[in-house]
């Protein structure tokens, strides 16, 4: 009779014994596969969590940048560039600079690749007496915000979207018009559209500025050409207002260095503490996000270590337990089939064939158990680790190579565990066994 037929008949006759062995192999292989899948899923999940945290951090910082940009734009200019000979005390006393610059300096900054400033506004501010109202005021001439060239090109390449320098703080004042400070408008009952005489000229009121609580409330803003003509300052300005960039300027020193690179004969004043507060808040927020990411990384690493330690205990116990159980089942099978073995030896079965009879049974048990245990272990491990069933973890751990290694390892272990009982069965004397049967 063929060996395969004998093994199949024996498996069918002793189903419980075979199922018990198959289950033990499946549990052992499942523990190994589950541990591998769990750790792989944990690593994949960790990368996904950290990546999501980093995306959230970048988005939060981007929103913070936008918020600060809008806040600072609404607060107005916070940097003033004047001539290097300007006396600070005199400027504070008079309220305006009394030294002058060429009116193309703002264009030179814009064309020179300035990166630490936005919203460049050349201005000519002068104290004067408003003869028609007999009041001392400040007249400021502007010609509109100067676009910074590299940002203009970037916006154009991006399809014309508005960038950091795209929305002006102060709209240009059209020629023949004037913007009136809030205090002046309130005192003299001035409204938009009124015709306003100013030192011999008549200008139309373009806008009444909101209350600012500063010298802007007693300032008349008009086109730069008018002020240059009135005071015979053609081609001159006495300052450049700007807004410190929220993305690249981390200190006034950087702004000064950037300006001096293009305009070495100037000095820079920062007159708003919002920049320092913004920088500190950004730094604290960035540090908090970095600490949160690092804490998450440490927590995930600690969890992985716990799972590794559990696997280091559970997997060896499951493997050893399965080997012992296969050994005990084979011993029991040898005892139950003692008379059958004697008959087989009497009809000519050799000792190697008897060993093969038991080993083939164990091989079938190991292969089926390993296949079922490995697949179940991977699915359970991946599920516990939070990986999707179609994820890379399962596609990696269920690869043909890994599956073949699991089946081969389980088969070798089961054959080794069953070797001694099978060898004992093959070494029995058939004459003695037949004598016992009579």
167 pLDDT band, cuts 50/70/90, is: low
- Spell 27-63 as b/e; 16+ CB within 10 A means b: bbbbbbbbbbbbbbbbebbbeebeeebeeebeeeeee
Domain boundary (211, 244, 271) is at 271
Task: Kindly report, residue by residue over 414-424, the tens digit of the pLDDT.
Answer: 888 888 888 87
Strand arrangement, sheet containing 219-223: 195-198, 201-208, 177-180, 219-223, 135-142, 117-130, 239-244, 79-83, 266-270
- pLDDT at position 284: 65
Percentage of the chain modeled with pLDDT above 70: 79
Q: For residue range 338-353, list pLDDT tens digits in order.
A: 777 777 777 777 888 8
pLDDT value at residue 193:
93
Question: If pLDDT is split at 50, 70 and 90, which confidence band does 387 have?
Answer: low
Domain end (from 242, 271, 300) = 271
Flag whether 40 is in a domain: yes
Residue 227 has pLDDT above 90, yes or no: yes
What would the mean pLDDT of 154-170 be, rounded to a whole number? 52
DSSP 76-120: ---EEEEETT--HHHHHHHSS--S-EETTHHHHHHHTT--SEEEE
Say if 68 falls within a structural domain. no
End-of-domain residue from the set 271, 302, 327: 271
Predicted confidence at residue 248, as pLDDT, reads 46
Average pLDDT over residues 112-133: 88
Q: Are 34 and 157 within one domain?
A: no
295 and 259, same structural domain? Answer: no
The total number of residues shown for the chain amounts to 438
Is residue 276 in some structural domain? Answer: no
- Do 290 and 267 lie in one domain? The reply is no
Q: Can you list the positions of beta strands (E) in 115-158?
A: 117-130, 135-142
Query: Do 116 and 194 belong to one domain?
Result: yes
Q: Let me know if residue 32 belongs to a domain.
A: yes
Q: How far is CA 225 from CA 141, 145, 163, 168, 360, in A?
A: 7, 15, 29, 20, 104
In-domain check, residue 292: yes
Give me the pLDDT at residue 72, please. 46
Judge if 197 and 321 occupy the same domain.
no
Report for 40-54, 175-189, 307-321: range of highest mean pLDDT: 175-189
Q: Yes or no: say if 303 and 386 are a contact pair by the CB < 8 Å rule.
A: no
As a whole number of angstroms, the distance between CA 427 and CA 354 comes to: 9
DSSP helix/strand/coil, 174? coil
**Rounded average pLDDT over 355-373:** 85
Domain limits for position 203: 79-271
- Do 22 and 166 belong to one domain? no
Cα–Cα dist 305/296, whole Å: 14
Count Cα neighbours of 208 within 13 Å in the Cβ-side half-sphere: 16
How confident is the prediction for the chain on average, in pLDDT?
79
- Average confidence (pLDDT) over 49-71: 66
CA distance 404 to 19: 22
Both 111 and 237 in a single domain? yes
The reply to whether 60 falls in a domain is: no
Interval 153-168 mean pLDDT: 50
Please name the residues in contact with 140: beta carbons below 8 A apart, sequence gap of 6 or more.
123, 124, 125, 126, 219, 220, 221, 222, 227
Residue range 59-69, pLDDT digits in tens:
766 665 555 44
Same domain (yes/no): 50, 107: no
Please give the tally of structural domains in the chain: 2
| 163, 226: one domain | yes
Q: Please, are residues 365 and 22 in contact by the beta-carbon 8 Å criterion?
A: yes
**DSSP string spanning 410-427?**
HHHHHHHHHHHHHHHHHT
pTM exceeds 0.95 for this model: no
Assess whether 105 and 181 both reside in one domain. yes
- Residue at 389 is within a domain: yes
Phi, psi of 11 (to 5 degrees): -65, -40
User: Is residue 71 within 8 Å of 244, Cβ to Cβ?
Assistant: no
Question: Could you tell me if 371 and 223 lie in one domain?
Answer: no
What's the confidence (pLDDT) of residue 393? 64
Give dist(CA 351, CA 268) in Å, integer: 101
How far apart CA 285 and CA 132 sit, in angstroms, is 54
* Residue 349 falls inside a structural domain: yes
Backbone angles phi, psi at 299, to 5 degrees: -65, -45
Give 8 or 390, the one with higher predicted confidence: 8
Q: Residue 16 pLDDT > 90, yes or no?
A: no
Judgement on whether residues 265 and 298 belong to the same structural domain of the protein: no
239 or 310: which leads in pLDDT: 239
| pLDDT of 126 | 92
């Amino acid at each position: 009779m063929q060996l395969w037929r004998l093994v199949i008949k024996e498996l069918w006759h002793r189903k419980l014994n075979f199922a018990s062995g198959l289950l033990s192999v499946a549990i052992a292989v499942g523990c190994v596969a589950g541990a591998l899948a769990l750790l792989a899923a944990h690593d994949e999940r960790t990368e996904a969590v950290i990546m999501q945290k980093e995306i959230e951090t970048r988005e939060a910082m981007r929103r913070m940048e936008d918020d600060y940009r809008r806040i600072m734009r609404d607060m107005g200019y916070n940097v003033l560039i004047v001539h290097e000979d300007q006396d600070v005390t005199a400027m504070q006393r008079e309220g305006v600079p009394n030294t002058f610059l060429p009116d193309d300096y703002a264009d030179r900054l814009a064309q020179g690749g300035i990166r630490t400033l936005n919203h460049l506004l050349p201005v000519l501010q002068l104290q004067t007496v408003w003869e028609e109202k007999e009041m001392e005021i400040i007249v400021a001439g502007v010609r509109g915000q100067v676009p910074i060239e590299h940002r203009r090109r970037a916006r154009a390449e991006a399809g014309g979207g508005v960038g950091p320098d795209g929305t002006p703080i102060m709209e240009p004042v059209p020629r023949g018009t004037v913007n009136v400070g809030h205090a002046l408008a309130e005192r003299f009952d001035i409204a938009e559209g009124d015709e306003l005489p100013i030192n011999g000229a008549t200008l139309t009121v373009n806008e009444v500025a909101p209350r600012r609580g500063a010298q802007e409330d007693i300032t008349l803003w008009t086109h730069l050409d008018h002020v240059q003509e009135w005071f015979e300052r053609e081609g001159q300005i006495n300052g450049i207002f700007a807004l410190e960039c929220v993305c690249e300027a981390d200190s006034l020193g950087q702004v000064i260095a950037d300006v001096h690179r293009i305009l070495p004969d100037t000095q820079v004043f920062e007159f708003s503490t919002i920049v320092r507060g913004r920088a500190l808040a950004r730094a604290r927020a960035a540090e908090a996000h970095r600490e949160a990411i690092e804490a998450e990384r440490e927590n995930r690493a600690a969890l992985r270590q716990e799972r590794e330690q559990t696997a280091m205990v559970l997997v060896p116990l499951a493997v050893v337990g399965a080997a012992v159980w296969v050994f005990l089942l084979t011993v029991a099978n040898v005892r139950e089939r003692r008379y059958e073995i004697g008959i087989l030896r009497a009809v000519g079965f050799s000792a190697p064939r008897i060993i093969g009879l038991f080993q083939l049974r164990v091989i079938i048990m190991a292969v089926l158990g390993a296949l079922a245990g490995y697949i179940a272990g991977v699915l359970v491990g991946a599920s516990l680790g939070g990986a999707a069933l179609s994820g890379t973890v399962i596609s990696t751990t269920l690869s043909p190579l890994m599956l073949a290694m699991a089946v081969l390892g389980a088969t070798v272990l089961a054959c080794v565990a069953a070797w001694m009982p099978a060898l004992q069965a093959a070494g029995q004397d058939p004459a003695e066994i037949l004598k016992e049967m009579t």
